[in-house]
């Protein structure tokens, strides 16, 4: 059912339960906008209507919507429409002039300063981060309206902070705004300090006065209950005032342990986007770009070697390049060869190699997980209780290692056709069996890999 | 500066303005009071930058001058002294010498030039109202103001000077209290201002039961002058919501209840509620009101109150605190509950131009 029909059905329900006067005052003034990500967005004229409806009529409206056939997990969100914008995107219209008045005369950065290097211009995009990059650009063009909050997650050192600060830089170019960048750890320290000095108001005001709040490594809020409480209120205050909030984390909100559900649900309110580990081409592009900032030119095979061997994150990639570049600029008479480079990067290379997963690792993890013996992995017997885990193991071998089908088949004592069949079976089952998907994801994590990076 | 002052007068003056001083201040000068002596009058001023209080007390000034002294320490000393006449002398370094009977103190102050300026008692408009009436208006509304800092405009009491009336309103999103009082002022002086909760508290403390109160409206701030005391406060910046929208236009049922009986029954039943679970059911039937509540892991409570009612049976759920708040702050013997049904807003009224809108809770 589409949103207007659903709303008119819900209205007729509400008309029955509510007294006419109340209906006319509070329900008729609502303008339904549409359903976005399981939230029914309802527009009202001012903050007070929003407050009053949220406090007093929200549950009634949700019940009426459900009774009219809305899905059980549909929630209701009231937003204040300031100007007549495109009805489908309530938060995409320009900032209300009212809030502009309170801006300071000049652009300013509160809390930690932004790193001048982290700009959009310095950000190399590839398939792994193009979506995150596009959303960040969108946010920087219409802060507080496009995607609020924006939640960026991904492994360490792949550009979350870079992207977040890039938004900050871009927004600062169109003053007057105040951008507040802070890491969760700083937030914690300041909060503790504020509690000690009994200056929590000051703490609050500092963050609530920001037009754009950037919080780095939000996962450190986990388990810090009173700080979460404080952050929850700050979040609401900023969100209600249509101020942009951007957060980064190493895990998606739902997987963050020790975080209050109400915070998690708020983090998922806007857009959750992931930066994946860069692929080979992107790594090479990053190296080329970084190299162009120095005066040294390394031969292409060397760059390819680095890009090919250092995969885990951009930070180590840059580290490797810096080493190579500084070596060749210090030893001008001795050109850098592949062997020399291998010597130079041996620590990083061995570190990367250690991370390679062996068939043995996978078989052991799968056997442990499903409570089987290691020998069951390669036995000829094939009751379903053994074959299913074995298929999972083969599937993981295919996904997590770069080995060929015959190599995998060998380690299981099977033919390559069996492996092909196993991979296909599991791939198909993953689409329809959430429990299996969870198991596979957990196994992947146990093996020290990020399931999301492997599209699991 | 040198003066002699009566202990009781000095203490009274200090206590009038002392509450404004922030208890733990980052700015040291704000924990001091500005004391100025001229002729036979002394002026004591305190401020926290948002609110300033000033009061005048009689003294025998031997030498004109001013200084700032830590008000809490001075007040503690004055309170402990046992002679009635106190002699105080302050030198150029702002060190005060206090002599009273056998007691002698030296108190180190701060120079007056660091003390922030305090708004003057002037304004383009001055409203006059009886102190007692004004205090009653604050008392009947201020408890309903929101404590949620994210809703800034609701963190205070609205004073609307309109149509020859002063209307005061406070709301927190679940209930709303409104009281009106007729006063005279020229039509061009119609205005609205939102007085922050801290200033409301201070005013209620210092307002007497009779005497004139002058209210000077200034830009972004307001000055209250009552006799020898002046209180000024910054106003909450923003537009107060259209509160008229919240008030139901008419209710089908009306119940007359004795205020004290209702209050004590609610107080009894609310003993078994907790902060998390406080839903209390009020069932209005023929000439009887049943108040009941159930709290998991605590127990349940029920009480009945005789009322004057002949309409249909209505069962409605409230937070009992929200019902008791207005009952505690009005003095009428009888109050009137106006209702439509179990999920429409209820109205509480009494003889005065007082009105209280209360939203029912919903239990799933």
Arithmetic mean of pLDDT, B61-72: 92
* DSSP helix/strand/coil, B243: helix
**What is the C-alpha separation between A433 and A304, in angstroms, rounded?**
40
**What is the C-alpha separation between B314 and B285, in angstroms, rounded?**
7
* DSSP helix/strand/coil, A413: coil
Q: What share of chain B is helix, strand, coil (3-state, %, to 5)?
A: 25, 45, 35
Q: What is the DSSP letter of A95?
A: P
Alpha-carbon Rg for chain A, nearest whole angstrom, is 27
Question: Nearest-CA residue of chain A relative to B176?
Answer: A52
Query: Is B43 a residue whose pLDDT tops 90?
Result: yes
Q: Which of B154, B249, B343 sits opposite A17 (nearest CB)?
A: B343
List beta partners, residue B355. B178, B349
Residue B3: which residues within 8 A CB-CB, separation 6 or more? B37, B42, B59, B60, B61, B62, B63, B87, B88
pLDDT computed for residue B282 by the predictor = 93
Arithmetic mean of pLDDT, B176-191: 89
pLDDT tens digit sequence for A257-291: 788 888 888 888 888 888 888 888 888 888 888 88
Interface test with A, best of B146, B148, B150, B342 (most A CBs within 10 A): B150
- B250/A22 touch (CB, cutoff 8 Å), yes or no: no
Q: Which of A19, A47, A197 sits opposite B340 (nearest CB)?
A: A19
Q: Which of B24, B250, B359 sits opposite A56 (nearest CB)?
A: B359
Q: What is the 3-state secondary structure (H, E, C) of A71-92?
A: CCCCEEEEEECCCCCCCCCCCC
pLDDT computed for residue A352 by the predictor = 62
CA A129 to mean position of chain CA atoms: 11
Question: Nearest-CA residue of chain B relative to A208?
Answer: B150
Arithmetic mean of pLDDT, B21-39: 85
Question: Nearest-CA residue of chain A relative to B345?
Answer: A22
Please list every residue in chain A whose beta carbon sits closer than 8 Å to the beta carbon of residue B364.
59, 63
Inter-residue contact A233 to A203 (CB < 8 Å): no
Residue whose entry in the numeric block shows the structure tokens 């030498």: B63
Please list every residue in chain B whose beta carbon sits closer than 8 Å to the beta carbon of residue A17.
343
**What is the C-alpha separation between A368 and A388, in angstroms, rounded?**
14
CA distances (Å), origin A253, targets A202, A269, B115: 28, 11, 50
Question: Nearest-CA residue of chain B relative to A50?
Answer: B173
Interface test with A, best of B173, B174, B240, B247 (most A CBs within 10 A): B173
Inter-residue contact B222 to B121 (CB < 8 Å): no
- A25/B245 touch (CB, cutoff 8 Å), yes or no: yes
Arithmetic mean of pLDDT, B292-302: 89
**What is the C-alpha separation between B65 and B73, in angstroms, rounded?**
21
Q: Reply yes or no: is the peptide bond before residue A176 cis, omega within 30 of 0.
A: yes
Q: Which of A19, A47, A63 sits opposite B344 (nearest CB)?
A: A19
Residues comprising chain A, all counted: 456
**What is the C-alpha separation between B148 and B144, in angstroms, rounded?**
12
**What is the C-alpha separation between A232 and A361, in angstroms, rounded?**
42
CA A432 to mean position of chain CA atoms: 24
User: Domains in chain A, please, with CATH?
Assistant: 3-80 (3.30.300.180), 108-274 (3.40.50.300), 280-354 (1.10.8.60), 359-454 (1.10.1750.10)
Arithmetic mean of pLDDT, B131-157: 90
* DSSP helix/strand/coil, A408: helix
Arithmetic mean of pLDDT, A227-247: 87
Interface test with B, best of A13, A17, A46, A51 (most B CBs within 10 A): A51
Question: Phi and psi for B104 in degrees, rounded to 5?
Answer: -140, 130
Token code pair at residue B34: 């500005």
pLDDT tens digit sequence for A395-406: 988 888 888 888
Inter-residue contact B229 to B207 (CB < 8 Å): no
Question: Phi and psi for B26 in degrees, rounded to 5?
Answer: -80, -25
Please list every residue in chain A whose beta carbon sits closer than 8 Å to the beta carbon of residue B174.
55-56
d(CA B39, nearest CA chain A) in Å: 41
pLDDT tens digit sequence for A127-158: 888 888 888 888 888 887 778 889 999 888 88
- A22/B344 touch (CB, cutoff 8 Å), yes or no: yes
- Strand (E) or helix (H) holding B350: none
pTM to 2 decimal places: 0.56
Please list every residue in chain A whose beta carbon sits closer than 8 Å to the beta carbon of residue B345.
22
Angle of helix A314-330 relative to helix A300-309, nearest 10 degrees? Answer: 150
Token code pair at residue A427: 């791939």
Token code pair at residue B208: 């007497």
Token code pair at residue B211: 């005497």
Inter-residue contact B61 to B42 (CB < 8 Å): yes
Please list every residue in chain B whose beta carbon sits closer than 8 Å to the beta carbon of residue A97.
none
Please list every residue in chain B whose beta carbon sits closer than 8 Å to the beta carbon of residue A233.
149-150
At A188, the pLDDT band (50, 70, 90 cuts) reads: confident
Query: Is B281 a residue whose pLDDT tops 60?
Result: yes
- A21/B246 touch (CB, cutoff 8 Å), yes or no: no
Query: Is A223 a residue whose pLDDT tops 80?
Result: yes
Q: Which of A25, A55, A233 sits opposite B150 (nearest CB)?
A: A233
At A105, the pLDDT band (50, 70, 90 cuts) reads: very low
Residue whose entry in the numeric block shows the structure tokens 């807003």: B345
* CA dihedral over B94, B97, B98, B103, signed as positive or negative: positive
pLDDT computed for residue A351 by the predictor = 65
Please list every residue in chain A whose beta carbon sits closer than 8 Å to the beta carbon of residue B344.
18-19, 21-22
Angle at A194 between CA A189 and CA A199, to 5 degrees: 165
Q: A2 or A443: which carries more pLDDT confidence?
A: A443
Output A384-390 pairs: Cβ under 8 A, ≥24 positions apart.
A390/A366, A390/A422
Burial of B121 from C-beta contacts in 10 A (0-12 / 13-18 / 19+): middle
d(CA A230, nearest CA chain B) in Å: 12
CA B349 to mean position of chain CA atoms: 21
Please list every residue in chain A whose beta carbon sits closer than 8 Å to the beta carbon of residue B30.
none
d(CA A22, nearest CA chain B) in Å: 7
Count other C-beta atoms under 10 Å from residue A308's C-beta. 11
- A48/B242 touch (CB, cutoff 8 Å), yes or no: yes
**What is the C-alpha separation between B307 and A370, in angstroms, rounded?**
69
At A175, the pLDDT band (50, 70, 90 cuts) reads: low
Query: Is A100 a residue whose pLDDT tops 50?
Result: no
Question: Nearest-CA residue of chain B relative to A196?
Answer: B24
Question: Phi and psi for B128 in degrees, rounded to 5?
Answer: -120, 135
Inter-residue contact A72 to A86 (CB < 8 Å): no
User: Domains in chain B, please, with CATH?
Assistant: 2-114 (3.10.150.10), 125-244 (3.10.150.10), 248-358 (3.10.150.10)
pLDDT tens digit sequence for A327-359: 877 777 777 777 888 878 877 776 666 567 788
pLDDT computed for residue A1 by the predictor = 64
Least trusted range by pLDDT, from A10-19, A387-396, A419-428, B191-200: A10-19
Residue A19: CA count within 13 A, CB half-sphere? 15
Question: Nearest-CA residue of chain B relative to A52?
Answer: B173
Q: Which of A59, A63, A237 sits opposite B150 (nearest CB)?
A: A237
What value does the mean pLDDT of chain B take? Answer: 89
The answer to ipTM > 0.85 is: no
Question: Nearest-CA residue of chain B relative to A20?
Answer: B344
pLDDT computed for residue A350 by the predictor = 65
- Strand (E) or helix (H) holding A261: helix A261-267
* DSSP helix/strand/coil, B4: strand
Q: Which of B151, B242, B343 sits opposite A18 (nearest CB)?
A: B343
What value does the mean pLDDT of chain A take? Answer: 81
Please list every residue in chain B whose beta carbon sits closer than 8 Å to the beta carbon of residue A22.
248, 340, 344-345
pLDDT computed for residue A110 by the predictor = 60
Please list every residue in chain A whose beta carbon sits closer than 8 Å to the beta carbon of residue B249.
21
Please list every residue in chain B whose beta carbon sits closer than 8 Å to the beta carbon of residue A56.
173-174, 359
pLDDT computed for residue B138 by the predictor = 94
CA distances (Å), origin B285, targets B127, B304, B333: 46, 11, 21
Query: Is A218 a residue whose pLDDT tops 60?
Result: yes
* DSSP helix/strand/coil, B230: strand
**What is the C-alpha separation between A85 and A83, in angstroms, rounded?**
6
- A21/B344 touch (CB, cutoff 8 Å), yes or no: yes
**What is the C-alpha separation between B99 and B62, in angstroms, rounded?**
15
């Amino acid at each position: 059912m589409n949103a207007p029909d659903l709303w008119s059905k819900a209205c007729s329900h509400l008309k029955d339960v509510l007294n006419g006067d109340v209906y006319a005052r509070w329900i008729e003034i609502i303008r339904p906008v549409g359903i976005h990500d399981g939230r029914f967005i309802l527009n009202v004229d001012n903050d007070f209507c929003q407050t009053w409806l949220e406090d007093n009529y929200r549950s009634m409206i949700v019940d009426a919507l459900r009774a009219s056939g809305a899905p059980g997990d549909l929630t209701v969100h009231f937003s204040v429409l300031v100007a007549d914008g495109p009805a489908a995107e309530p938060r995409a219209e320009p900032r209300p002039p009212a809030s502009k008045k309170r801006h300071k005369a000049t652009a300013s950065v509160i809390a930690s300063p932004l790193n001048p290097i982290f700009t959009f211009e310095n950000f190399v995009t590839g398939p792994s981060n193009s979506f995150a990059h596009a959303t960040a650009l969108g946010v920087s063009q219409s802060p507080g309206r496009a995607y609020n909050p924006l939640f960026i997650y991904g492994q360490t050192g792949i550009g979350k902070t870079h992207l977040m600060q890039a938004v900050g830089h871009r927004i600062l170019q169109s003053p007057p705004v105040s951008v507040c960048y802070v890491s969760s750890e700083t937030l914690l320290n300041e909060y503790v300090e504020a509690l000690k000095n009994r200056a929590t108001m000051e703490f609050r005001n500092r963050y609530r006065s920001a037009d754009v709040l950037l919080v780095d490594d939000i996962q450190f809020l986990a388990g810090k209950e009173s700080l979460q409480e404080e952050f929850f209120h700050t979040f609401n205050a900023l969100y209600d005032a249509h101020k942009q909030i951007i957060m980064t984390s190493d895990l998606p909100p739902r997987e963050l342990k020790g975080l209050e559900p109400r915070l998690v649900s708020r983090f998922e309110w806007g857009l959750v986007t992931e930066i994946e580990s860069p692929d080979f081409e992107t790594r090479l592009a990053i190296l080329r770009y970084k190299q162009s900032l120095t005066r040294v030119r390394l031969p292409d095979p060397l760059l390819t070697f680095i890009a090919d061997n250092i995969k885990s994150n951009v930070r180590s990639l840059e580290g490797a390049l810096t080493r190579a570049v500084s070596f060749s600029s210090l030893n001008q008479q001795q050109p850098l060869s592949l062997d020399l480079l291998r010597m130079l990067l041996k620590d990083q290379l061995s570190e990367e190699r250690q991370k390679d997963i062996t068939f043995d690792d996978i078989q052991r993890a799968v056997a442990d997980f499903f409570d089987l013996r290691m020998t069951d992995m390669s036995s000829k017997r094939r009751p379903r209780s053994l074959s299913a885990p074995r298929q999972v193991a083969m599937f993981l071998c295919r996904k997590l290692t770069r080995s060929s089908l015959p190599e995998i088949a060998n380690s299981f004592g099977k033919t390559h056709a069996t492996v092909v069949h196993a991979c296909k079976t599991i791939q198909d089952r993953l689409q329809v069996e959430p429990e299996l998907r969870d198991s596979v994801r957990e196994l992947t994590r146990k093996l020290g890999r990020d399931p999301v990076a492997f599209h699991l | 500066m040198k003066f002699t002052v009566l202990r009781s007068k000095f203490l009274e003056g200090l206590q009038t303005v002392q509450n404004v001083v922030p208890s733990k201040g980052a700015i040291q000068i704000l924990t001091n009071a500005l004391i100025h002596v001229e002729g036979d009058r002394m002026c004591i001023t305190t401020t926290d930058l948002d609110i300033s209080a000033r009061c005048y007390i009689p003294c025998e000034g031997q030498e004109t001058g001013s200084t700032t002294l830590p008000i809490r320490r001075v007040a503690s000393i004055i309170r402990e002294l046992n002679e009635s006449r106190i002699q105080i002398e302050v030198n150029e370094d702002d060190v005060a010498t206090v002599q009273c009977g056998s007691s002698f103190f030296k108190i180190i102050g701060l120079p007056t030039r660091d003390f922030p300026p305090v708004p003057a008692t002037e304004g383009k408009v001055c409203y006059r109202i009886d102190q007692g009436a004004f205090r009653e208006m604050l008392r009947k509304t201020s408890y309903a103001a929101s404590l949620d800092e994210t809703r800034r405009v609701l963190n205070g009491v609205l004073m609307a000077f309109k149509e020859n009336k002063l209307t005061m309103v406070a709301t927190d999103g679940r209930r709303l209290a409104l009281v009106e009082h007729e006063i005279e002022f020229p039509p061009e002086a119609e205005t609205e201002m939102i007085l922050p909760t801290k200033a409301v508290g201070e005013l209620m403390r210092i307002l007497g039961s009779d005497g004139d109160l002058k209210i000077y409206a200034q830009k972004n701030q307001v000055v209250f002058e009552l006799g020898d005391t002046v209180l000024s406060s910054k106003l909450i910046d923003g537009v107060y919501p259209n509160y008229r929208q919240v008030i139901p236009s008419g209710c089908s049922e009306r119940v007359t209840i004795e205020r004290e009986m209702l209050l004590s029954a609610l107080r009894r039943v609310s003993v078994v509620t907790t902060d998390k679970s406080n839903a209390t059911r009020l069932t209005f039937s023929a000439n009887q009101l049943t108040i009941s509540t159930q709290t998991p892991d605590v127990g349940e409570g029920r009480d009945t109150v005789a009322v004057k009612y002949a309409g249909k049976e209505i069962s409605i759920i409230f937070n009992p605190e929200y019902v008791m708040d207005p009952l505690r702050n009005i003095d009428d013997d009888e109050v009137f509950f106006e209702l439509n049904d179990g999920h429409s807003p209820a109205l509480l009224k009494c003889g005065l131009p007082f009105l209280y809108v209360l939203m029912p809770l919903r239990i799933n």
